[in-house]
Amino acid sequence: MAPVAYLFCWAFIAFLLVRDSRRRASVSAATWIPTLVLFVLATRSPSEWLGQRSWVTTGMANDRAGNMIDQVFFASMIATSFFIAWLRRVKWSKVFGANVAIMLFYGYFVASSLWSTYQLDSLIRVTKDFGATIVVISVILSEKKPLEAVRAVYIRCACVAIPLSAYLVRFSPLGKQYARNGDVTYIGAAVQKNSFGEMLLLFMIFLVWDHLEARSAAHAKRLPNKVRWDFLVLLVMGAWLLNLSGSQTSTVSLLIALALMLRTGWLASQRVSRLVFVVALSLPILLLCTQEFASVFTPLLTILGRDATFTGRTDIWHHITFGTVNPVIGAGYWSFWGGPGGRAISIAMKTGVPNAHDGYLDIFLDGGLIGLFLLSCVLIASGRRLIKNLQVHRYYYLCFAFLIIAMVHNLTESSFARLSALWFTTLLAMMDFPSLRDKLRSTPGREPAGAKSRAISLDPAEFQPAVDKAFGVRSRQEIV
């Protein structure tokens, strides 16, 4: 049965990829570079797919040795992406100028390698993180039709990762992990339960968004709105796998994201968005209050499938104080858990601790209070920009949803400034790419859900020149 299922799985994946490629003929072949990078970040490293063990992806602790296969893969992807951006004449000065907070955030962590326990390793890691996110993302956003390219990258990853995970969970031991007491944890194509839930979270959100965009395009052309069967199959498989993963954080994040994307009427107003953003910013402080007011928060935690210790996470948090690292500058980028401080906590807890299971605490350990301040600047600057542009284009609803779920997800998981699919997507949502911004503002007839109607004609003959100007051939244009 397993060999037949294996062949059927890959035949189904090939069918989905061919079908999607035909649907998106306007997307260039260059988008396969970010698609491959995203797939690796969401699932397993190349060395792991080849059967080698890689502690870099199974935990967050510093792995000084690394793996040559993985290093070559990321180096080649970053170099290729930079070459494509150069061919397209991306003006990095304007990109950096439009994203000052993000550049300062990365610049500080480059400097943090000077006081890191492993200076060269920290510098390599932050450089790889920057290249595999910012540089690779530029390939997507510099496409002729960047929003179509974004959809293509995520949907094609979903076409591979979701069916492959279903096969591994059902027919292969590679899709499961076994505890010492015999309990089974399902991990699918990922490396552990939480990253499995994170992968499904991302791809299910993009499946829904792709369906909404396809339905809107059909409505604009006065075509019948048909629900694609492949969309339903992938969505049902994703929901089944998310339930098997047992990742409560990803499940709650998915519900929040769908609510933010599908809201209409007064719920889609900027006032409500500001309230949601302020609440999300306040959650880290409220989380600290659960230690003092556990009895008040226990009913809510029970609904979310957590206990007052957040499944043992507070045991780790209790060991992190202002005396754990230099509270001002931290221990250096991604060096704490592989250094003396991390080993001391592991010894005290009598178990290996790869990360703080809280993105905000890990930023504190890496960069101290300065790192937390810069992270706050990135989140606030991005949130204000996205809220301001919600009425410009519904793409900003998707970006705002990802910003919120990143802030929520990092309460009990760690993805801020960690090379992962969620951080890649968060940066994609937060980046202000000038050419994309100008296109969205100049594209008529793209009113977001819940916005007031504008006095704009929907006659294709009237707005076609603007569309041609925004999406025309740009081989000789500068992309900024």
Q: What pLDDT score was predicted for residue 150?
A: 94
Quote the CA–CA distance of 296 and 144 in Å, as a whole number. 52
Q: What pLDDT score was predicted for residue 62?
A: 52
Q: What pLDDT score was predicted for residue 464?
A: 45
Written as tens digits, the pLDDT of the chain (480 aa) is: 678 888 999 999 999 999 999 888 888 999 999 999 999 999 998 988 887 764 443 444 555 446 788 889 999 999 999 999 999 999 999 999 999 999 999 999 999 999 988 888 889 999 999 999 999 999 999 999 999 999 999 999 999 999 999 999 998 888 888 876 777 888 999 988 888 999 999 999 999 999 888 887 776 666 666 667 888 899 999 999 999 988 888 888 899 999 998 888 888 888 999 999 999 998 888 776 655 444 444 555 555 555 545 555 677 777 777 777 889 998 889 888 877 777 888 787 777 777 778 889 899 999 999 999 999 999 999 999 999 998 888 899 999 999 999 998 888 888 898 989 999 999 999 999 988 888 887 764 444 444 443 333 334 444 444 434 443 444 434 444
What residues have CB less than 8 Å from 53, skipping those under 6 apart? Answer: 47
